[in-house]
Structure 1
């Protein structure tokens, strides 16, 4: 056979070596997992480790890869929840928060509208009855000034409220564009709060995804029960606003009496020393929304209730030019500078934000509590014993499948069957390595994909070997027959695997849950099997022929 170019040989060997190294940690799963958990815990503690954690970090060499295939809910056990966010709850909160502002605006028109009162109305509507119906037109004009642009791509050019008249009443409603944007923000905010709660609990590889318009899928492996998970995500975050004393890069700096040393959420290595007693707390925050400043740059607006507004206004009046830290769960998410007295409890945070960053900051500011009720539509608890049974069943299926394929190849193709089996083993190793490297979660359907791939992995070798047999029957020498076999079987192999790849991509694209888990391993298996069947098997056969130089071969 024509020798493979040296650079190709080196590349093939490097890929195999990489695969073996990255797959190795999975052979010592418990030890590596314990070590990784200890490293993560030390990192969260800013490098401070307990003796037990120090001991755990020595369970696996730091110079070796430590990535593992995350095990899915059906393999590790845990809790599954499907929740629906009651997005309409937010409409009422918006109207309740708008009423004091509308009342203050109309007080300035008392001579035209007389006294005003809030009339009963649906959750997304604010109905205001005027004592003097003749002032309705002036009231509508004044209240329309409260409208702000909708911060969304679909709502570009729209305002958040619509103001109309109905007899002696002024009717303020949320526009459809604002409702759509509000629904999206509410679900996204709930998603962020749930993710923060679950991540802080130290759980492994949670799956928290938005499904549809108002639903959230929550799967947390390793947690005791669905009830425990529901309790965890219902925990209220602690949001507060503190005066900043100073900043430092020393994690061990002394904060001083009645002060706190808190890390910055965005800037690694930066710490704020803030006063222990907050000026206002998240319980007094009514709302925060992405907006634009007077120069049209993205910003974040916020508003406090009556008590919070008074405290916030007094503090800003007396501390112009000072930093004011916004603290969420003992981390400083922002520390804007007070530019002027901010009366009325409303303010704006400016900076070098993009629209996405201002939206994210607004979400974090509102992340003190879930913005709306959540109805749990589905909940399941999968015990670790069931997960262990699934793993054993998957291992058994994999072993039986591997033995059957190995035996078939040896019985059918003799020594060349052993060459194909070497490629098969390396194919499984490479699959595990890739799954570990990309952090793809292994599920029970994923194991089924691996077992199926073992059977499909030798298809390319079967095509090659049958083609070699035909070339031998045509009278070619062993070396030339093998060369021709690989060359002429290549197109058929590519056609078969490309159609299979397309099937895998479609399953991943339109599927969800178990279907995606199967599609991931199925697709990766096809890619790795093409590499091992075409390149690894060829290299093994080439080495054999060039060293032994047999006069005849049996395929």
Structure 2
């Protein structure tokens, strides 16, 4: 067992050396981070100023530059818990059914008479027919147009239900459709929030769904929760609508198929617009901050082919008429169409600052949230508090390492020193693996590392105690050492495998801090098996080949 073949020694040495090199940048965290930020800024199109070039040169690019990301509790940043108002999407879904149902009922006008939409609650669509005798035919036409719900749980269900109430048809979404809409809304909200946060260049944000309609967003390194809400809190729903009229009366009646919206930068001015939009922000493929013909900040945009075609056809047919640009139920501007706008390109101008234009471009590129969000909780963790946590975690780790190293040295002598070398390599390899997989280190993660320090020497204790037993019966120290490693291996694997299973379950079932603990614990177990068994065995084997002692004291 002590005679390691050369290839095995080379593999073990290579793993230790490569792991040490990969983990090395974490000793120069600030310099490497500054260099990485500068490289990212240049890749995003920032001009390469002398200052930026100097920051990039803080760390050689030929060296590994992956860092262990620090979590919110170690770095400071923003914590926001929001609730997605999925009920708003239900109302929009019903709103979208009206044109189709209206056309269906008009096809059987000889049976139902005239068709008129009535004002109802947000969770229902009310349609009145003038010939109550044709109610059965009307209900059948409405029900026939309902499509199956596209979800696993809604198999066999239709997207909406219809019932008669006098001369009115009441249309409501089915429960299966509501669940499917809620699920789609949450998934879309998660993706759009993730895109918005990624656009800002922040490192390792944590964006998780909590419960049925809540999203937790934690972004390390950001200045405040208010700054984060400026990014994720706006719906950023862009649409273009024909203008019916302009008024100064906030209580003016717009009509059933119209809507009354205020002007964003003109207090007291309101626009009556057609509810039907010509194009929407969902058809945008790009948006960039720019300047208009007067040199004022603006935002350029570009539609996809379908959106560009609809935009071009409308502007060609309505030259000389006003056309409103609406963002989150406010009219940004309502310019008059001067000519046919082909190609699907345009510019949004208004009372923007440079920062406003940049932020709006980011929001439009990432896409609009499908529903408004309500802030339930917001917290800002200052960098000083984060640094205090880092210092406390480092102190805890150093104290644990020193105590374990002292115990191993006093108890097992030279073999204890060998175990301490393996223990240090174990910690180095944990940081190397975390840097490779992009894991985030949190305070619970530090607790996992401290626990790993204690668990890592357990394997060596089992091995050394086994060697002690074998020394009483084995022929010579080499045989005793070999049998000690061989017979302790199964016990070591069983003990670590059970703990690894617990770490995997914690990662799958847990969230946030629990996952951080599970990651470092799991990586620590894998590294400790490697270092405690193979690295320690190789070191002891090399020492024995060098000294050839007649007896060994453990």
The interval holding the TM-score normalised by the smaller chain is 0.7 to 0.9
Shift of 1:194: 1.6
- Separation in structure 1 between the aligned mates of residue 310 and residue 373 of structure 2, nearest angstrom: 39
- Separation in structure 2 between the aligned mates of residue 129 and residue 200 of structure 1, nearest angstrom: 48
Corresponding residue for residue 35 of structure 1? 35
Matched, 1:68 2:67: yes
Shift of 1:212: 2.1
Corresponding residue for residue 25 of structure 1? 25
Q: 1:326 aligns with which of 269, 284, 294?
A: 284
- Separation in structure 1 between the aligned mates of residue 310 and residue 406 of structure 2, nearest angstrom: 81
Q: Deviations over 1:139-197 (max 9, x none)?
A: 22333454334333333454322233333211222122221111011112222222222
Please say if residues 328 and 368 of structure 1, whose CA atoms lie closer than 8 Å, have aligned partners that are also in contact: no
- Superposition map of 1:142-541 within 5 A: 142-237=141-236, 308-309=277-278, 326-330=284-288, 334-335=304-305, 368-474=367-473, 476-541=475-540
Please say if residues 453 and 522 of structure 1, whose CA atoms lie closer than 8 Å, have aligned partners that are also in contact: yes
Shift of 1:457: 0.7
Matched, 1:13 2:10: no
Residue aligned with 1:329, SS? strand
- Give unmatched runs, 5+ long, in structure 1: 242-283, 285-303, 313-323, 345-363
> TM-score by structure 1 length?
0.77
- Separation in structure 2 between the aligned mates of residue 21 and residue 208 of structure 1, nearest angstrom: 31
Shift of 1:87: 0.7
- Separation in structure 2 between the aligned mates of residue 156 and residue 445 of structure 1, nearest angstrom: 42
- Separation in structure 1 between the aligned mates of residue 108 and residue 82 of structure 2, nearest angstrom: 46
72-81 or 90-99, which moves further after superposition? Answer: 90-99
- Computed over aligned residues only, the root mean square deviation of the Cα atoms, in angstroms, reads 3.0
Corresponding residue for residue 139 of structure 2? 140
Structure-2 change in CA distance of 1:178 and 1:540 (3 Å): same
- Separation in structure 2 between the aligned mates of residue 394 and residue 185 of structure 1, nearest angstrom: 41
- Separation in structure 2 between the aligned mates of residue 305 and residue 70 of structure 1, nearest angstrom: 49
Structure-2 change in CA distance of 1:80 and 1:167 (3 Å): same
- Separation in structure 1 between the aligned mates of residue 89 and residue 313 of structure 2, nearest angstrom: 25
- Separation in structure 2 between the aligned mates of residue 113 and residue 537 of structure 1, nearest angstrom: 88
- Separation in structure 2 between the aligned mates of residue 36 and residue 378 of structure 1, nearest angstrom: 32
- Separation in structure 2 between the aligned mates of residue 228 and residue 337 of structure 1, nearest angstrom: 32
Structure-2 change in CA distance of 1:500 and 1:308 (3 Å): closer
232-241 or 536-545, which moves further after superposition? Answer: 232-241
- Give unmatched runs, 5+ long, in structure 2: 241-258, 260-272, 289-300, 315-362
Shift of 1:122: 3.5
Please say if residues 195 and 366 of structure 2, whose CA atoms lie closer than 8 Å, have aligned partners that are also in contact: no
Shift of 1:70: 0.7
Corresponding residue for residue 315 of structure 1? none
Shift of 1:553: 2.0
Structure-2 change in CA distance of 1:51 and 1:110 (3 Å): farther
109-118 or 63-72, which moves further after superposition? Answer: 109-118
Corresponding residue for residue 325 of structure 2? none
- Separation in structure 1 between the aligned mates of residue 156 and residue 365 of structure 2, nearest angstrom: 25
Q: Deviations over 1:54-85 (max 9, x none)?
A: 32222212222211111111000111111111
Structure-2 change in CA distance of 1:340 and 1:366 (3 Å): closer
- Separation in structure 2 between the aligned mates of residue 325 and residue 515 of structure 1, nearest angstrom: 40
Q: Deviations over 1:334-364 (max 9, x none)?
A: 54599999999xxxxxxxxxxxxxxxxxxx9
Residue aligned with 1:520, SS? helix
Residue aligned with 2:60, SS? coil
Residue aligned with 1:550, SS? coil
Please say if residues 237 and 329 of structure 1, whose CA atoms lie closer than 8 Å, have aligned partners that are also in contact: no
Shift of 1:137: 2.4
- Separation in structure 2 between the aligned mates of residue 448 and residue 220 of structure 1, nearest angstrom: 21
